[in-house]
Amino acid sequence: MVLGLACLSACDNRPVVDRGGDVCSEELVSLKVEVITAHGALVKGATVTAINEESQESITGVTNEVGVSRAVNESLAPGLTRLYATAGAKVSPAAEVEWQCDDCHCQPVPGAVTLQLNP
């Protein structure tokens, strides 16, 4: 009898709603920023700075052992973000990324940036 009641509550013919697929993930989209020397070698420990042109909000990160930083993310979106890198006295020319947003996230265009330090 108890087993029959348990089945009744589990088999009540209510529609099942599939909530998978249309919920936005909480993980922020990040931009891959690679820093290289004037000769093309990857730079570990370079500082990458990104500034949103409109809001003036910024993010700073440091390149890892393979010369890449993923500190720049969609928290700077929407709009245009200017990036540059420094390592000691060397500085890169600025690069620009446009964040394009949908209902869930903003994607950087281009999807990756290489910053080359001056000689």
Q: What is the CATH number of the domain that holds 83?
A: 2.60.40.1120
What's the structural domain count of the chain? Answer: 1
Residue 107 lies in a domain: yes
What are the backbone dihedrals phi and psi of residue 8, each rounded to the nearest 5 degrees, phi first?
-60, -45
* Residue 91 belongs to domain spanning: 28-116
What is the reported pLDDT for 34?
98
Q: How many helices (H) and strands (E) does the chain have?
A: 1, 9
Kindly report whether the peptide bond that precedes residue 93 is cis, defined as omega within 30 degrees of 0.
Answer: no
Q: Which two tokens stand for residue 17?
A: 């709603």
What is the reported pLDDT for 11?
44
Amino acid identity of residue 96, one-letter, is: E
Q: Which two tokens stand for residue 84?
A: 């540059």
Per the document, the length of the chain is 119
What is the reported pLDDT for 72?
98
Give yes or no for a contact between 90 and 81, defined as CB atoms under 8 angstroms apart. Answer: no
What is the reported pLDDT for 23?
76
What is the reported pLDDT for 36?
98
Q: Is 27 helix (H, G, I), strand (E, B) or coil?
A: coil
- The residue whose two tokens read 């290289």 is 36
What is the reported pLDDT for 12?
45
What is the reported pLDDT for 13?
46
Residue 108 lies in a domain: yes
Per the DSSP assignment, residues forming a β-bridge with 93 are none
Residue 14 lies in a domain: no
Per-residue pLDDT of the chain (119 residues; tens, 9 = 90+): 444 544 444 444 444 434 455 578 999 999 999 999 999 999 999 999 999 999 999 999 999 999 999 999 999 999 999 999 999 999 999 999 999 999 999 999 999 999 999 99
